[in-house]
Structure 1
Amino acid sequence: MTSYLLFLAVAALTVLSPGPGVLMTIANALRFGFRGTVGGIFGIAAGAFIVAGISATALGALLAASAVAFSVMKFVGAAYLMYLGLKIWKASPPNFCNRSVHEAKFLRRFGEGLALQMTNPKAIFFFLSVFPQFVESGPSHKAQFALLVASYATLVVCIHTGYALFAHQARAWLTSERGGRLLNKAGGATFMGFGAALALAKRSGT
């Protein structure tokens, strides 16, 4: 597997680029502090294993080959992201000062991150279109697959931890009324933008 370093570069840029998962991590850091982001970050990383697994199964082949299955998948995901985006856009500036211990629990945030990653256009199209190009056929196929997915998940944890630390340090501005409104608008626009991109996306090779 001679292209491993190239894979790491492409995967890092994919994870680093702003998207639904990054916004979730930042929001959790502002609401619950750095420790409150851990569940969501690991949920996003775990979601990568599931999306990658789907891409390697018959379901992945079906989504790649069937226009109907692909369209159903992308429109359901797009509708969910558009809904989240509109909800965030219209919301009042969040009050990050009132933290709920219940809402900050690891399992609650883990489930939220896992669910979001399952509809994240970046992850879906990375694993359905880009990822297979780095897995060479042969007896080491499964080992390569496991290594690459684990590497991607590790990048998710590292990069999202960096975003969480940044948000925690910039909390004073981000939690102001102006910062809160800008965060809502930026977050809503990003979710709706990714939803639109997912709805307009075409299958690889079409």
Structure 2
Amino acid sequence: MPDFHHLLLFVAAGWLLNLTPGPDVLCIVRHALRGGARAGILAGLGITAGCFVHVAAAAVGVGALLAASATAFNVLKWVGAAYLAYTGLRLLFARSGGSPLDQAQAGPLGAPAAPRRVFLDGFWTNVLNPKVALFFLAFVPQFIAPGTADAAWVFVALGVLFNLNAIPVNVGWALAAAWMARRARVQRGLAWLDRVAGVLFIGFGLRLAWAESPSR
């Protein structure tokens, strides 16, 4: 394991990276705005579960396969881009209506978002993004000294620490978005926020679709 100084640096870098807005943060904020802090936290837990999948995959070599094989990278890339675009379109054409309180408790199509659906939305948003797998392959090894015994287990331990370290940040995003949702102006604009979120998700999907395989 890294020494205490490098471990603190790893934790601080993880916090900064998790504070950076992206599809995961947008997923948390969207659910928190619509369903409150609990929904946002649940989406964040789904994202964390997806990150654990990437850590496990990287540990067994799947991440290295994505980095080395353009075909494997492109398959996952297009599936992930399609999912982000689908989510964006669903939000963009969501029906609006009802009282602000009804809207705040509703899902993208006006129906209450079930906890399982919220969790899986966070999970798939993360796990279908090959860039997350490549991120773990690029970021975590920087904190593993060359020649470290059992480097694979150290990688897994640091990956687990990174994911656990992200939970407070995700909770913070959820609480902040839920607090915003209680403001009258935000409640009146929830339908427009869905449209904005839809455009952003489509944009994230297009950006992922244009991403080139690192093997090129």
TM range (shorter): 0.7 to 0.9
Deviations 1:79-102 (A, max 9, x none): 221222222223244766233797
Q: Which piece of structure 1 moves more, 157-166 or 116-125? A: 116-125
Q: Percentage identity across aligned positions?
A: 35
Q: Which string of whole-angstrom CA distances, capped at 9 and with x for unpartnered residues, describes residues 119-141 of structure 1?
A: 24652332243333333452242
**What aligned pairs does 1:162-181 form with structure 2 within 5 A after superposition?**
162-171=172-181, 172=183, 173-176=185-188, 178-181=189-192
- Code of the residue aligned with 1:21 in structure 2: it is D
Report the Cα distance in structure 1 between the residues aligned to 2:86 and 2:201, rounded to whole angstroms: 8
Is the deviation greater in 122-131 or in 195-204?
122-131
User: What is aligned with 1:48?
Assistant: 51
> What's 1:97 paired with?
101
Following TM superposition, by how much is the alpha carbon of 1:18 offset from its aligned partner in structure 2, in angstroms?
1.6
Gaps of 5+ in 2: none
Question: Given that residues 29 and 167 in structure 1 are in contact (C-alpha distance below 8 angstroms), is that contact kept between their aligned partners in structure 2?
Answer: yes
Q: What stretches of structure 1 move > 4 A for 4+ residues in a row?
A: 93-96
The question of whether the paired residues in 2 share the 8 Å contact of 1:20 and 1:120 is answered with no
| Unmatched runs of 5 consecutive residues or more in structure 1 | none
Q: Structure 1-normalised TM-score?
A: 0.82
Task: State the distance in 2 between where 1:9 and 1:204 align.
Answer: 27
Note the 1:1-206 alignment, pairs <5 A: 1=2, 3-93=6-96, 97-98=101-102, 99=105, 103-105=113-115, 107-120=116-129, 123-136=132-145, 137-171=147-181, 172=183, 173-176=185-188, 178-181=189-192, 183-204=193-214, 206=216
Q: For residues 104 and 77 of structure 1, what CA distance do their matches in structure 2 show?
A: 22
Report deviation, 1:114: 1.6
Distance 1:78 1:36, change over 3 A: closer
Deviations 1:45-89 (A, max 9, x none): 111110111122232222111111111121221122122222222
The Cα RMSD (Å) is 2.7
Question: Contact between 1:21 and 1:116, CA under 8 Å: does it hold in 2?
Answer: yes
CA contact (8 A) 1:43 1:112 kept: yes
Change (3 A) 1:133 1:198: farther
Aligned residues: 203
The offset of 1:161, in angstroms, is 0.9
TM-score, length-scaled by structure 2: 0.79
